Amino acid sequence: MFILDDPYVSDFLKQTVLSRKGAVLDNAKARVSLNDEASDVRLLDDEEFAAEARKAPRIYANSENAIGWIAANLADTKLPAMIDVFKDKVAFRDLIAPLYPDYFYKGVAYDDLDDVDPEELFYPCVVKPAVGFFSLGVHRVESAADWKPIVQKIRDEVERIRQYYPPEVLDVDRFVIEQCIEGEEFAVDAFYDGDGNVVIVNILGHLFASADDVSDRVYITSPSIIERWREPFTEFLAELGRRANLADFPVHVEMRVDENGHIAPIEVNPMRFAGWCVTDLAYHAYGVNPYACYLDGAAPDWERILPQREGNVYAVVVADIAPDVDCASIVQVNYEEFKNRFSTPLELRPVDYKRYGVFAFLFAQAREDDLSELHAILGSDLKEFMKLG
């Protein structure tokens, strides 16, 4: 069963839905995405879909916009409780607090940010929306002297951010202030099967331009990343699943690993894999369909897959628009020039930048011993690809 919603339904997800001839919640996004091929699937209204969902073991939602519908229509099922503990970052920190007794975090209302005593915080720390998406509204604070300037930056951003996503996806009325987790950052697409066992369908390494970079510009996956981290991440997610009683549930988990190998979660995004259908990178990289894996309860055959891709890296580049660029002033984006910046582009996905503040997602391939193209794009403001009016 599928719930399709904004911001984006990829052709790959669409073809997966059509090939499975499954049940799809009848909404505006589903009809637009499936076009004339909607007759090849079962479009069910709210009542019909909810009735079938109570019997079906697995639902996949491509967007957290679906969370509001699930809360309203499936309140008598296990889904809302599993979602709630992860969607609110403060509730999530409460859940895992026994595992990290020395970790500092604090929930605060947006209206009360100015009242926070910066001398009482643990530095460096991160302040971000309690219910968030991408790195919108996320800021790193190095010292007490930086607190008030950062709060002002947040206030300057809030109105611009609010227009992009509904509160179920991005709620800027509440924030969490938490201790910075140092180390390498990873994002994991995984699901819990009917018995609560963890199945990983991809692992992404997060590249940064600098220590204070909090953007989502570049993520990479490779056989060496999968081989190194699949087992320890599976063990960690199994413990998380036990604490939250998870089963038949997909997640996109962001975490850091310090120099001693200690794993600490940043956040867990429920009911989906990587947002904006970025999870499709698993297909480009490994021929793995993450949606089919979850719905069938099947694990990728990593022992067979990985040796065939050794030495390669597969990346997704998020062409986010710099905060100092007014999206309304963009006259044109040179997508071809952006695509040609990479020697082995795999797929370019243009985005309505006036609506979302991102002009494209690009999948690309590189050699593990040469990531120069990816590091170069990390340091770009991307204005070279835009014609501004």
HSE-CB for 210 with a 13 A CA cutoff: 5
Residues 126-142 pLDDT 10s: 998 877 655 677 899 99
- CA atoms of 364 and 338, how far apart (whole Å): 12
- pTM of the shown model: 0.86
Supply the pLDDT for residue 360: 97
Q: Is 97 left (phi over 0), alpha (psi -120 to 50) or beta?
A: alpha
Supply the pLDDT for residue 164: 65
25: CB partners within 8 A, 6+ apart: 1, 2, 3, 4, 43, 44, 46, 49, 66, 69
Q: What's the token pair of residue 74?
A: 């499936």
Kind of pairing between the strands at 42-44 and 23-25:
parallel
Give 283's DSSP letter. H
For 302, the enclosing helix (H) or strand (E) is: helix 302-305
Sheet containing 249-257: order of strands? 263-270, 249-257, 184-192, 198-207, 218-221, 312-320, 358-367, 345-350
Supply the pLDDT for residue 90: 83
Q: What's the token pair of residue 186?
A: 């990873």
**Are 243 and 96 contacting, i.e. CB atoms less than 8 angstroms apart?**
yes
Residue ranges of the chain whose pLDDT lies below 70 = 38, 132-135, 161-171, 211, 214
- CA atoms of 168 and 223, how far apart (whole Å): 35
CA-CA-CA-CA torsion sign (118, 122, 124, 128): negative
Supply the pLDDT for residue 134: 58
Closest to 17 in 3D by CA, of 273, 289, 249 = 289
Supply the pLDDT for residue 168: 61
